[in-house]
């Protein structure tokens, strides 16, 4: 049975597993319209009530909007983002933030989103974002177009600063509450709690590293050699024990995180259902302890993302 948690002090309640829509934008491979509609239906029917999307995810917003009838819209919370529109296309200006949200609302077929975040802020100078960009977020919240505002990205330094300075409601960080790295829980959560920021977790399998094929991701992943070596050792140990490393990664990330929800991005029903099972299946504690013993050294558990000064 799907479980739910409070999203910090926002007044929203979210499923512990949420759905990331990168697959709807075909980021992980082709997905036809009929399969996209079926996937969204399956997500809602499973009890998942938070769906995360972005203009950066291609046609994801448009497809999600087509899948959400008025009745289905009432069953879910929608989070979208702004500021990142392509691999190297960033614009966090107030005008673009506003026009982006207006476009997202049209595509999604709704008059508001429940969560609105600045996407991958670490790639730009943070001072204008924390001042002008966040001020525009607050204005849109005051207008009722977004119930909660926040930002998403990767580096610890960026988000520790954001929690202290911006008055945001939520933040989404990825690959920070995993078998490889618990810095969301150990470093960010205390700062977030002091400042009233709710946490959303993503990338339980560390962008594919913690999957049976993770050792073969040569040149396709930002992870450093120590992280890659640790992941390979974890995969090998899980295989030796007859366990699925991805399933254990989801178990740990969903069940042990201090975040309210963990975003699972997939275009495959079997992966979605596996994540839902992982949320409620008891963890093999001995296997987990042995896997965690293979983690990189504490100062080697993150990779770099964005501008050097934001890491």
Catalytic (active-site) positions? 57
Exposed/middle/buried for residue 254 (C-beta within 10 Å: 0-12, 13-18, 19+)? buried
Q: 45, 80, 33, 42: which is closest to 61 by C-alpha?
A: 80
Neighbours of 73 (CB within 10 A): 17
**Helix, coil or strand: residue 94:** helix
**Helix, coil or strand: residue 204:** coil
Q: 253, 292, 295: which is closest to 274 by C-alpha?
A: 253
Beta carbons of 164 and 130 less than 8 angstroms apart: no
Beta carbons of 24 and 39 less than 8 angstroms apart: yes
Enumerate residues 6+ apart whose C-beta is below 8 A from 248.
179, 238, 278, 283, 284, 287, 288, 291
DSSP states of 117-177: EEE-GGGS-HHHIIIIIHHHHHHHHHTTSEEEEEEEES-HHHHHHHHHHS--SEEEEESSS
DSSP 276: H
Which tokens in the block code for residue 229?
A: 């070596």
């Amino acid at each position: 049975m799907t479980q739910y948690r409070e999203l910090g002090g926002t007044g929203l309640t979210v499923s512990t597993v949420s759905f990331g829509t990168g697959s709807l934008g075909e980021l992980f491979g082709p997905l036809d319209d009929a399969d996209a509609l079926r996937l969204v239906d399956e997500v809602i029917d499973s009890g998942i009530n938070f769906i995360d999307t972005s203009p950066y995810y291609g046609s994801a917003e448009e497809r999600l909007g087509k899948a959400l009838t008025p009745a289905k819209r009432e069953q879910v919370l929608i989070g979208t983002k702004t500021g990142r529109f392509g691999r190297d296309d960033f614009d966090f200006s107030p005008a673009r933030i506003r026009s982006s949200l207006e476009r997202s609302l049209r595509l999604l077929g709704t008059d508001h989103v429940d969560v609105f975040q600045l996407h991958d802020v670490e790639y730009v100078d943070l001072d204008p974002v924390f001042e002008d960009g966040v001020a525009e977020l607050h204005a849109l919240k005051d207008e009722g177009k977004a119930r909660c505002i926040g930002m998403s990205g990767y580096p610890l330094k960026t988000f520790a600063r954001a929690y202290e300075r911006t008055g945001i409601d939520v933040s989404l960080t990825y690959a920070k509450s995993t078998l490889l790295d618990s810095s969301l829980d150990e470093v960010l959560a205390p700062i977030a709690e002091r400042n009233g920021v709710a946490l959303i977790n993503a990338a339980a399998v560390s962008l594919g590293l913690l999957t049976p094929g993770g050792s073969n991701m040569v040149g396709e992943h930002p992870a450093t050699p120590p992280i890659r070596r640790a992941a390979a050792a974890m995969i090998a140990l899980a295989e030796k024990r007859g366990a699925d490393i991805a399933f254990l990664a989801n178990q740990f990330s969903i069940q042990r995180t201090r975040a309210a929800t963990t975003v699972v991005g997939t275009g495959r029903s079997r992966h979605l259902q596996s994540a839902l099972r992982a949320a409620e299946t008891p963890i093999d504690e001995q296997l987990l302890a042995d896997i965690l013993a293979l983690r990189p050294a504490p100062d080697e558990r993150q990779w770099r993302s964005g501008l050097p000064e934001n890491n």
